[in-house]
Amino acid sequence: MRTSILRSWLNGWIDKISMRDFLIRGVAGRAKLRFALCRSTNAVFQAVVYHDADPVAAELIGDAVTGAALSSVLLGEGEKLSIRWEYPGAAGITLADVNFAGDIRCCPGNPHLLGEVKSRADLFGVGDGNIAVTRSSDGRILNSGQSAAPLADLSLDLAFFYSVSDQVESGIKSIVELSPDPVKPVKTAGGLLIQALPDCDLEEFEEVRRRLESAELEEVLSRDVLGVDVWVREVLEALLKADFGDSEISYSYGADIGLRCSCSEEKMASALKLLSPEELEAAWSGRDELTVQCQFCGRRYTLRRR
């Protein structure tokens, strides 16, 4: 009897830990880099289900949501980051944003890619894509930048943007494991962001960045998280290798990440103001009411003409 109670408590506890999304932010002192590490399974799952995405689109959504989650550690209080990837292939435009509180939203360009795409070249197209990142606070743009997206991978191109445009050497690895189960199409999602601190040896950083693509790190990132402390240690060991033993590692929990949309009637009404008078007239088309739908969460708003 006691054993079964203990087992059910333990199973509940394991479920709780492995199901929960979380974000860790930290510094590896000796390697002179900072990192963010997240488990984003639930957020990716919700975005995939909401957009009814097929497996090809689900991988893009996974990279976008995880990239946004990791990027929340770069924000100051009250700030929001909007990321827009555009590729010449079938992937088209993917949008994701995240704020300081960890609220993430994602909108894929095309959630149904399976029939259209036979190769990576079909998906990302021939030639560079483009990535644009805007940081804002209370609807006011603080800064925005863009760069080429030459790596045909949402995570690698986001890291490329931070390296080139923000001039902070960066690397991102995200993992998305899908499952054929239609009830739970995303088995695991998560990722790791690393950034060089100002006095980092860039040759050493390059070596660490190469390890982001190693099979060992991928395996550790995909592992079931039974204890956060142990997982962080395993990830950093796989990343830092020989340097790990005498590295000074410190970390703490970052924002409470999750898929949460901040749309409102007021924001929808102010988005209408961006249209030209002709576009606005066409949208109203003589009626007094206009129904608009949020592209991120699907919520509908009925706006009235004033």
The footprint of Zn ion (CB under 5 A) covers 261, 263, 294, 296-297, 299
CB of 46 to Zn ion, least distance (A): 13
Comparing CB distances to Zn ion, the nearer of 299 and 304 is 299
Comparing CB distances to Zn ion, the nearer of 143 and 270 is 270
CB of 13 to Zn ion, least distance (A): 33
C-alpha distance from residue 84 to each of 59, 67, 73, 90, 272 (Å): 16, 11, 18, 15, 20
- What angle, rounded to 10 degrees, do the helices at 215-222 and 228-240 form? 170
Give backbone dihedrals phi and psi of 210, rounded to 5 degrees, phi first: -60, -35
Comparing CB distances to Zn ion, the nearer of 106 and 192 is 106
Angle at 252 between CA 251 and CA 257, to 5 degrees: 125
CB of 306 to Zn ion, least distance (A): 23
Comparing CB distances to Zn ion, the nearer of 19 and 271 is 271
Contact 195, 25 (CB under 8 A): no
What tokens were used for 14?
A: 């394991």
Comparing CB distances to Zn ion, the nearer of 14 and 261 is 261
CB of 47 to Zn ion, least distance (A): 12
CB of 98 to Zn ion, least distance (A): 14
Comparing CB distances to Zn ion, the nearer of 97 and 157 is 97
* CA nearest neighbour of 236 among 194, 298, 196, 267: 194
What tokens were used for 160?
A: 């490329």
DSSP letters for 82-105: EEEEE-SSTT-EEEEEEETT-EEE
21: amino acid identity, one letter: D
DSSP 165: T
Comparing CB distances to Zn ion, the nearer of 225 and 294 is 294
Contact 93, 86 (CB under 8 A): yes
Give backbone dihedrals phi and psi of 232, rounded to 5 degrees, phi first: -60, -45
CB of 55 to Zn ion, least distance (A): 25
CB of 48 to Zn ion, least distance (A): 16
Which residues have C-beta within 8 Å of that of residue 67, sequence separation ≥ 6? 83, 96, 154, 155, 158, 172, 174, 191
